Amino acid sequence: MLPCLLLALLPQSRMALATPSLALEENNTWSLVPLLAGHHPIGCKWVFNIKYNSDGSIERYKARLVAKGFTQREGIDYTETFAHVAKFITVRCLLTIAYVRNGPLHQMDVHNAFLHGNLHEEVYMLPPPRYRRQGEHTVCRLHKSLYGLKQASRSWFRKFSSAIQNIGFFQSKAYYSMFTQTHGKSFTVILLYVDDMIITGNDDDAIRDLKHFLSTCFQIKDLGPLKYFIGVEIARSKYSISFCQRKYTLDILEDAGLLGAEPEKIPIEANVALMPTGSDPFKDPTSRRLLHYLKGAPGQGSLISWKSKKQDLQVEHRQPTTLLCDNKATLHIATNPVFHERTKHIELDCHTVRERIQNGEIQTAHVQTKHQVADIFTKPQPAPLFQSYLGKLGVDIHTPT
């Protein structure tokens, strides 16, 4: 990886400056005004980077103007900063449903996404180096968001969600970065992760109309069929859909200097006691063992995906969902509200599960601890049991899953 200073000297990087500079001007990102008394302008700088394809080849050189948001003051030039982003479990769920229904999977990218967000706060910034004129004492009054601003992601998401809901899409109540639209039998889904999005559905005309609408609102690049999303390589065949984090894993190993490390068979020793150290994760023995394990299984698939929520994807499930548990006391508590006096202190989750059982949405069943596959996500396992669980999950350490 080249340092940013060296990247800035490359002819390709200097040429890359033309695109964001034009975008800033066309987008009316700021106005040059005198600085009002009592206001403090934040700084900015050009950041150069190289965007790579999933196979490691160079896709393009990028230049981006980044505001020095770390000098912003809460309550003065920013307030709220939280913005919703898609979680990978939602991506997996959406892709699985698209595969089962034989639906297409399209990927689109928004150029300079944060520049589309409208600022509600009064923010002043020093002019970028290429925009400063000798003898002038003006600053940039920002109208649109910039990368680096604390509210940048929130402003962009607010802009996108408002635009997409104006044409009849509904925001998911489970995951706010997913939007759905239904017209009769036509069903379309769009999932947003910062400036990348997945589109699927059962109506090609509706998807085409959605793409056209997005291109009129934002600078959109159609990347075609979904292949690489948030660091995960995705391959689809007639028989399956697979996920692989090989490139992402190898990047982590390279950063840690462990590309040539000896691989481990299991990620963590059984019966190990984990303690917070506050140290560099690459120097922590437990973390390094995990990296040694990844060295032997870089293409194993997504590392952790252990969460479930009701999705707004029109999936009917008429049979009760079986919930396997290896703790008999927990099973009794879930079905018997007066099992023990201490259960009066249990959390809301237990009451929710009990309600679902009574409604026939969930049925519980006991499973022996040695057969509880979910333990692979929650506790260390000896090597033979760990390999057995991997096999039951359909995970092969040599191929993506």
Q: pLDDT digits over 377-397, tens only?
A: 878 888 888 888 888 877 755
Kindly state whether residue 303 falls inside one of the protein's structural domains: no
- Are both 221 and 252 inside the same structural domain? no
Residue-wise burial string across 92-131, b where 16 or more C-beta atoms lie within 10 A, e elsewhere: bbbbebbbeeebebbbbebebbbbbbebebebbbbbbeeb
Q: What's the confidence (pLDDT) of residue 207?
A: 95
Q: What's the confidence (pLDDT) of residue 352?
A: 77
Q: What's the confidence (pLDDT) of residue 42?
A: 93
Q: What's the confidence (pLDDT) of residue 205?
A: 94
- Are both 132 and 46 inside the same structural domain? yes
Kindly state whether residue 28 falls inside one of the protein's structural domains: yes
User: How many domains does one find in the chain?
Assistant: 3
User: Containing domain of residue 257, as a range?
Assistant: 246-298
Share of the chain above pLDDT 90, in %: 24
Kindly state whether residue 306 falls inside one of the protein's structural domains: no
- Are both 270 and 372 inside the same structural domain? no
Q: Are strands 362-366 and 321-325 parallel, antiparallel or unpaired?
A: parallel
Q: Integer distance in angstroms from the first to the last C-alpha of the chain?
A: 29
- Are both 52 and 201 inside the same structural domain? yes
Kindly state whether residue 9 falls inside one of the protein's structural domains: yes
Distance CA 294, CA 288 (A): 10
- Are both 175 and 264 inside the same structural domain? no
State pTM to two decimals: 0.71
Show which of 228, 258, 278 is a domain's final residue. Answer: 228
Q: What's the confidence (pLDDT) of residue 16?
A: 54
Residue corresponding to tokens 């080249």: 2
- Are both 216 and 169 inside the same structural domain? yes
- Are both 77 and 139 inside the same structural domain? yes
Kindly state whether residue 239 falls inside one of the protein's structural domains: no
Distance CA 91, CA 87 (A): 7
- Are both 186 and 100 inside the same structural domain? yes
Residue ranges in the chain modelled with pLDDT below 70: 1-22, 54, 130, 132-135, 272-283, 300-317, 336-349, 396-401
In this predicted model, what pLDDT tens digit does every residue of 37-54 receive, in sequence order? Answer: 888 899 999 888 877 776
- Are both 352 and 289 inside the same structural domain? no
